Structure 1
Amino acid sequence: MVSKVISAAPIGYDAEIIEVEGDMSKGLPTLQIVGMGNKAIDEAKDRVRSAIKNSLLEFPSSKITINLAPAELPKDGTYFDVPIAISILILSKQLSSSDIENAAFVGELSLDGSIKAVRGILNIVEKIRDSGVSTIFIPTGNAEQAGLIKGVELIPIKNLKHLFLHLKKEQLTPAYEPNLEPLRRPKETRKLINDVVGQDQAKRALAIAIAGRHNILLTGPPGTGKTMLAKAALSLLPDLTDEEIIEVSKVHGLVNNSSTTVHNRPFRAPHHTASKISIVGGGPKALPGEVSLSHLGVLFLDEIPEYPRNVLESLRQPLEDKEITISRVNRTSTYPANFMLIATMNPCPCGYLGDETKECTCTTTQILNYQRKLSGPLLDRIDIVIPVQRIKNKSLLDNHDKNYNIHEELSYKIESSSKIQQKRYNRSNFYNSMIQLATVQDGLNLTDEAKKLLDMAAGKLDLSARSYLKAIRVSQTIADMELSDKILPQHISEALQYRYRDKSL
């Protein structure tokens, strides 16, 4: 007799259907698991045996072979503990195949029979649903996240005995009913942008960057508010849609088995000592890194020149393609990485180049070497570079009250701009920062005067093709924020002010 139980496991950003096959025959009482499983799967033998016995169920004294099909696919994790236990209960005729018809199972077993949450539950449930299975038995700890996926019946289970009684129809467990309230939850109420005194130009540049999802570099001496401005970006970003909440939660669910759903846009701020693998992803299991965990949110690199060169260069591809592909010997995984980069840096190693209150102690060579830590290809992917100058002490209290309502003003402009872009491109998560020359020629309304000014500036400033396109991207966002249906000369002029200067930031 052969038993077959449906399960699934995450493979990269996707998941794969796994069929847990069981066979029982005469011989020494052993449990063998085949199908290219790792050590965690091999250890399932002891977990499953103890869980069945401690659930007051019978573990057969026969030779049992479990196959995880397809056998050619490498498998890891503890997703198959529950399916293996169900397969053994069918082989020992404590359950029948009809009891699990059109159902799938996933979960990790404790020695006492309780069922623990697993990673990647959203990816798993989505894959099983798409395969046509109507009912999925999941750990209770995964119920909140799994409930985001519609179109499939979810049965949360606490322990193996609980599951057994449900399948025998002796003690039925009701299907999980997700919260019908909107998924979005209030963001942090503190409006950090109001805490930044002065810096009107930097605040506007930050708002433009957020509205069009332009990557931005804030540069200036220490203590000018660069980091505070960057952190204020999170409260200015529009709320995630329901679809985006699922998308972000799918990525975060792959790196931890928490039942918490990600309701707000991610803000990731890795330390400058972070390794390349932690930033772009990888490792033995090819898990997502910071660029993917900041998907649809912000990746903040404070003092960006302090990061290793190989880490910074690894950002070029995800900044361009909005996704990252991680290749290993036996696996290639592609994760989304549509994030907005916010970076800060001092103008020189000591930090005081151009500062009015303190003299710079760096040599010209030191300054150039410091600024050259950011390569040309990386700077090409940053649309806005804005200097943040020091505010005089006597102006701190005078300017504070004037900026009290700046959060509401900027939030309104950003939200209005986002709606305009959504209507223009008719695509989700597509912003002005992603437009190409074909889009410029077909869909953007650049006035003759604005084009003439841009062409003249391109000649005098020796703008590259990429810099030319960046100016159009930023000017389109400025026009959207001003509710202008055309790109005017003043929009071009402002956009050109935010370009990177070769000799000095």
Structure 2
Amino acid sequence: MSLAVLASRALFGLQARPVQVEIHVGNGLPAFAVVGLPGAGVRESRDRVRSAILNCGFDFPAGRITVNLAPADLPKDSGRFDLPIALGVLLASGQVADQQGHSPDLRHYVLAGELSLTGTLVPTESALAIALAVMRDDPAAIVIMASPAAQVAALVPGLRVLAAGSLDEVVRHFRDEQPLQAASPAAWRIAEEPSLCLADVRGQALARRALEVAAAGGHSLLMSGPPGVGKSMLAQRLPSLLPPLTHLQALEVAAVHGLLQPQHSWSLAPPFRAPHHGASRSALVGGGVHPRPGEISLAHHGILFLDELPEFDRRALESLREPLETGAVTIARAAGSCRFPAHFQLIAAMNSCPCGWLGHPRRQCLCPQDRVARYRARVSGPLMDRIDLHVSLVVESAWHEAPAGEPSASVRERVLAARQRQLARQGGLNADLDVAGLAQHARLDADGETLLARTVEMWGWSARATQRVLRVARTLGDLQASEALDVALLAQAIQFRPDSGAAVKMGF
């Protein structure tokens, strides 16, 4: 035959889009052309493929070879197209056939791998992202990659992945001479027990309660207070209250991290990211000429802790608004847009004023009122509106005499029970409830409706703020194993808004 068609994948961000690799070997002067918007890495594959074919003992066709990577408007880069191109050249020149002389059926195969000049396969970068995309699009597909990349891809459940060491091994597989073996999945690293325990925090009962509610419902949380009062200490202990990730969630997290560096171990522990307040907007949300994920995507299915919140660049903070609502971030470039997952739990901390001593019982704040106002204005109202829980930490004079707090293990039991109720009732956490879900699962009694209406009128709450109060109330009910939401639960939820009665003490 003179034409071969194989399947591969082009990686753009975390999206591994299908690519049809078409190879035609025709008459004419010897030439090797690659079309279909190839990048430099793909154009250089001509020399790698030629040397790999010859060094594996095959004949390189002397005619005109044309390789088309379809669709033509999708940019392609990297050397992962070497394997399908080389195999396609051998198929089109009639050098690969089964024992009956028939050309093999490659309709259900997806090939990805870079070739060395000797014909050895080089591990594919972002193998996990490719495998996850193949599983979603065509679960019956068979993926061929180099090991250990094949072992990484084999972590995806239900996907058949074959490990190949060289081009020669792939050819022998399709000739029915020596079938490739299924790759054994890479080893998991079980989530270890967090070393930081909530029992280390003495006092701060309201903040501890807010942290438990945030863990139970997946809510965002802002803690405010003087320096050294325990804001960072509490945030660092939130992972000890969370359950381990599911295998699919852990694979998604590993796929995102694999875009930046090779993965050697996979953990079921939720990620905890704490970028410095000098981080740029690209560092937070992602970007670059070839888009890469930012901190919000690296915190996918985990926690993003922003300490000293007002010190972050305002543009960087404003870029968090859409991901907090949608759970994803889309980066647009001239070559196209790529979408990264960003379903993270935002935990933030800030001082009450630039010097930090506003509201301290013994230290005097020296900040003028206009400077305090400018400091707080660095965090915009729309962003504050998207944070579910707001709590003010106060200096407790006898904190060192207070008994040790409740350990994380005890609090985690209540958190897990509340999460199980949410998953059984609506299939997700309360922080993700939409309008229809709130109407169905967060109904108030008559007294609750009256209180909510009065509060909305008094403080001029937006619809978003009202919905977030209902989500928090639903979580408070789940922590008490109560399906009904009474006025007491609603009143507790209202106290966690920045403009409610309790939050007025924060100075907002």
Same-fold call, TM cutoff 0.5 = yes
When structure 1 is superposed on structure 2, of 272-281 and 363-372 the one drifting more is 272-281
Residues 100 and 270 of structure 1: CA distance in aligned 2, closer, same or farther (over 3 Å): farther
Are 1:118 and 2:124 counterparts? Answer: yes
Unmatched tracts of structure 2, length 5 or more: none
* Aligned counterpart in structure 2 of residue 161 of structure 1, from 145, 158, 168: 168
Are 1:380 and 2:381 counterparts? Answer: no
* Aligned counterpart in structure 2 of residue 135 of structure 1, from 142, 159, 173: 142
Distance 1:324 1:165 in 2: 43
When structure 1 is superposed on structure 2, of 1-10 and 308-317 the one drifting more is 1-10
The equivalent of 2:367 in structure 1 is 362
Q: Which amino acid aligns with 1:90?
A: L
* Aligned counterpart in structure 2 of residue 208 of structure 1, from 209, 213, 230: 213
* Residues 23-172 of structure 1 aligned to structure 2 (within 5 Å): 23-26=24-27, 29-96=30-97, 98-99=103-104, 101-102=106-107, 103-128=109-134, 130-131=137-138, 134-172=141-179
When structure 1 is superposed on structure 2, of 160-169 and 209-218 the one drifting more is 160-169
Q: Which amino acid aligns with 2:34?
A: I
In percent, how many aligned pairs have the same letter?
36
When structure 1 is superposed on structure 2, of 368-377 and 213-222 the one drifting more is 213-222
The equivalent of 2:416 in structure 1 is 415
Residues 118 and 257, structure 1, Cα contact 8 Å, conserved in 2: no
Structure 1 residue 227: deviation in Å? 1.4
Structure 1 stretches of 4+ moved >6 Å: none
TM-score in terms of structure 1 length: 0.89
Q: Which amino acid aligns with 1:399?
A: A
Write out per-residue CA displacement over residues 82-114 of structure 1, whole angstroms, 9 at most, x where no aligned residue: 111212333454423724634331112234433
Write out per-residue CA displacement over residues 234-256 of structure 1, whole angstroms, 9 at most, x where no aligned residue: 22112222332333334334444
Residues 222 and 391, structure 2, Cα contact 8 Å, conserved in 1: yes
The equivalent of 1:278 in structure 2 is 283
The equivalent of 1:241 in structure 2 is 246
Q: Which amino acid aligns with 1:82?
A: L
Structure 1 residue 206: deviation in Å? 0.8
Distance 2:131 2:75 in 1: 20
Are 1:317 and 2:317 counterparts? Answer: no
Write out per-residue CA displacement over residues 406-435 of structure 1, whole angstroms, 9 at most, x where no aligned residue: 21221011111111111221x2xx322233
Residues 280 and 288, structure 1, Cα contact 8 Å, conserved in 2: yes
Residues 21 and 435 of structure 1: CA distance in aligned 2, closer, same or farther (over 3 Å): closer
The equivalent of 1:477 in structure 2 is 475
TM-score in terms of structure 2 length: 0.88
Residues 80 and 107, structure 1, Cα contact 8 Å, conserved in 2: yes
Q: Which amino acid aligns with 2:387?
A: I
Describe the SS at the equivalent of 2:20. strand
When structure 1 is superposed on structure 2, of 287-296 and 255-264 the one drifting more is 255-264
- Equivalenced residues, count: 496
Distance 2:132 2:467 in 1: 39
The equivalent of 1:17 in structure 2 is 18
Write out per-residue CA displacement over residues 332-380 of structure 1, whole angstroms, 9 at most, x where no aligned residue: 2333322111111111112221223432222211111001101110000
Residues 154 and 175, structure 1, Cα contact 8 Å, conserved in 2: yes
Residues 141 and 259, structure 1, Cα contact 8 Å, conserved in 2: no
* Aligned counterpart in structure 2 of residue 267 of structure 1, from 272, 280, 290: 272
Structure 1 residue 121: deviation in Å? 2.7
The equivalent of 2:490 in structure 1 is 492
Write out per-residue CA displacement over residues 109-167 of structure 1, whole angstroms, 9 at most, x where no aligned residue: 23443323334434433544544764221121223332233444311122333334434
* Residues 290-301 of structure 1 aligned to structure 2 (within 5 Å): 290-301=295-306
CA RMSD of aligned residues (A): 2.8
Structure 1 residue 494: deviation in Å? 2.1
Residues 473 and 46 of structure 1: CA distance in aligned 2, closer, same or farther (over 3 Å): same
Describe the SS at the equivalent of 1:349. coil
